[in-house]
Structure 1
Amino acid sequence: MPARCPFDADGLHWPGILADIADAAGPLAAHRVAEARGGAPAYFPRQDALSDDHWLVVACGWDAARAIARRVGGHRHDLPLGPLSGNRAAVARAIREGLENGLTGHAVARLVGVDCRTVRRHKNDDDRAGQAFKTDQHRLA
């Protein structure tokens, strides 16, 4: 698992319960919860009901899971997909950052929550734009 969010989380709007999770345990925990259970309802246990094999502990680690359980535990919540769903500019930025940081297309797709074809399309569009820029610079010289 990455040690930090795979995208710049500063200034992102965390929808729904993910805002509480980000506030309680940080943006990486919110991202991991959305990655693990986003788009579906999920039960968050009380702190004393957490265990090593509970999905929340597996996804976020004990410290973050305890913080989340203290804030939202004991209830079922509908989990949004995350701050990048439906935001093309944020998705494009996250894909670009992942690729620039040396991640594979598959790793970027998993982290951002898109299909591998989407990552490949963004990469190809960037490659074509860079090539067009080089061609224009050559013509101007």
Structure 2
Amino acid sequence: MTTVPPGLTPHILPGILREIAEIAGFQAAVDLCVAARGRRFYIPARSRLTKNHPLVLAVGWRAARLIADAYGHETLPIPTARPVLRAYRARVLRTAGYTTGQIAMILDMERGTCCGWPRHPTTRSGRWTRASCVPSSTMRRAASPG
């Protein structure tokens, strides 16, 4: 588990992941999303949690108990949330000091697509827009040769 970079909030997550983020934290929602990979995920009652249960292995003991309290005995459809996870990974890499070119290479995407993601997760409308995410200094650097 990694530390959540500043500026990422549960509102960027889709559906059930947003609810899980509000209950157990943003990192737990991201970890569950990665573990479930777009499949349905059974949440046992809190009394049935063990240290080897897939939920505990995915999100940790504390977060698993919080999720089990809220959704015990339910099977939840966990979305893949690919765009959000890609933006999340870009922000983690940006926080770690990677350049835009390195982030694009690691995430297997075009440099122009990812250069704005680590800056601001969404605009007021909740949609990604390159113009609102990339400061002019970054655009000048991207346009300059070298």
Structure 1 and Structure 2 fold alike (TM over 0.5): yes
Mind listing any 5+ residue stretches in structure 2 that lack a counterpart? 116-137
Aligned match of 1:71: 70
- Which whole-Å CA distance do the structure 2 matches of 1:92 and 1:23 have between them? 19
- Which whole-Å CA distance do the structure 1 matches of 2:53 and 2:32 have between them? 12
The within-5 A match list for 1:110-129 is 116-118=107-109, 121-122=110-111, 126=115
- Which whole-Å CA distance do the structure 1 matches of 2:61 and 2:52 have between them? 11
Q: TM-score, normalised by structure 1?
A: 0.65
Following superposition, the deviation at residue 98 of structure 1 comes to 2.6
Q: TM-score, normalised by structure 2?
A: 0.64
- Report if the CA contact (8 A) 1:5-1:31 is conserved: no
| Identical residues among aligned pairs (%) | 28
Aligned match of 2:58: 59
Distance 1:103 1:123, change over 3 A: farther
- Total equivalences in the alignment: 120
Distance 1:129 1:34, change over 3 A: farther
Is 1:132–2:129 an aligned residue pair?
A: no
For the aligned residue pairs, the C-alpha RMSD in angstroms reads: 3.5
Mind listing any 5+ residue stretches in structure 1 that lack a counterpart? 110-114, 136-141
Q: Where in structure 1 do 4 or more consecutive aligned residues deviate above 3 Å?
A: 90-94, 123-129
Bigger Rg over Cα = 1
Following superposition, the deviation at residue 43 of structure 1 comes to 0.5
Is 1:102–2:103 an aligned residue pair?
A: no
Following superposition, the deviation at residue 26 of structure 1 comes to 1.0
What secondary structure does 2:108 align onto?
A: helix
